[in-house]
Structure 1
Amino acid sequence: MEVFLANINHLESVSILFDKYRVFYNQPSNLEAAKNFLKERFNNNDSVVFAANDNGKLVGFTQLYPSFSSVSMKQVWILNDLYVEELYRRRGIANLLMNVAEEYAKKSGAIRVSLATQISNVTAQKLYESRDYIKDEEFYHYALGLH
């Protein structure tokens, strides 16, 4: 299993995984929109995508978005997406993807990696907690929908 930094040349394969990731979170499948979204991220350097390759087939990915902490005056990476094909789950691929993402964040000088997951996604919560991610009990996080 190889994990590598994806780029625009991997758009087709990563878009398929990204579309499946969105379907996992109850969004309608839209491969063309997924491809356009990722193409824009790659072209604008808005995010960093790592992909897991198993003998020439992409089987998982994670996407990091840059942010900053004003208090610490340091960079923060938001691990916004993590997905592994269903047939490849429970093989340590999510851990490999997270290892590479966390190492990338450390090398960039970031102060932390932040993430969020659905309350019902107990599998993901177990993974994150096994990696020493701490559920925030100090801050409430709010969001305003702008639809």
Structure 2
Amino acid sequence: MIRKATLTDIDALTILFDQYLVFYKKPSDIKTHKNFLTERLENNDAIVFMAFDEENKAIGFALNYITFSSLLLSKILILNDLFVDSSIRKKGTARALIEETKKFAQEIGSPIIRLRTAKNNFVAQNLYQKMGFVRDEHLYGYDLTLTK
């Protein structure tokens, strides 16, 4: 089952989010991650879809942000984070989360869903390509890290 996350899901979501960040070589920090997610949900900064198994255990999530594109003169949806528990992968959960994200993008009038993934995350890249995502060959992404 896929549904939109609420604050009542915060503990289960935090556990998955922590695993996701560890996958990307970030330190585990349940308290900080819970605070971050709570703030996103309380402020309606993010739309999070969660996947649950038949026992209603949380097994995955897609965290999305709405932003705007000047070139498209439109809202766009950023699929910022996608994660499925390693014990349940390759059973269609990630695909179902992306499909729910696609439905939401259509509801808000977004003509595209944008995402980024690690260059070595070939499993995810393969899924994205199978689902119709096209890797941008014309634009480079740049980040500027600011010191505190």
Partner of 1:8: 7
Please report the TM-score for the alignment, with normalisation by the length of structure 2. 0.97
Please report the TM-score for the alignment, with normalisation by the length of structure 1. 0.97
> Do residues 50 (structure 1) and 78 (structure 2) align?
no
Q: Deviations over 1:30-83 (max 9, x none)?
A: 000110000000011000000001121000000001110112221001001000
Partner of 2:61: 61
Distance 1:6 1:79 in 2: 15
How many residues are aligned here?
146
The letter of the residue matching 1:110 is S
Partner of 1:107: 107
Identity of aligned residues (%): 38
The letter of the residue matching 1:20 is Q
The letter of the residue matching 1:119 is K
Distance 1:14 1:43 in 2: 14
User: Equivalent residue of 2:27, what SS?
Assistant: coil
Partner of 2:137: 137
Partner of 2:93: 93
Query: Gaps spanning 5+ residues in structure 2: where?
Result: none
User: Equivalent residue of 2:105, what SS?
Assistant: helix
The letter of the residue matching 1:13 is A
Deviation for aligned residue 1:114: 0.1
Distance 1:139 1:84 in 2: 29
Q: Deviations over 1:104-126 (max 9, x none)?
A: 11111012100000001000100
Distance 2:28 2:146 in 1: 22
Query: Gaps spanning 5+ residues in structure 1: where?
Result: none
Distance 2:138 2:70 in 1: 17
Partner of 1:33: 32
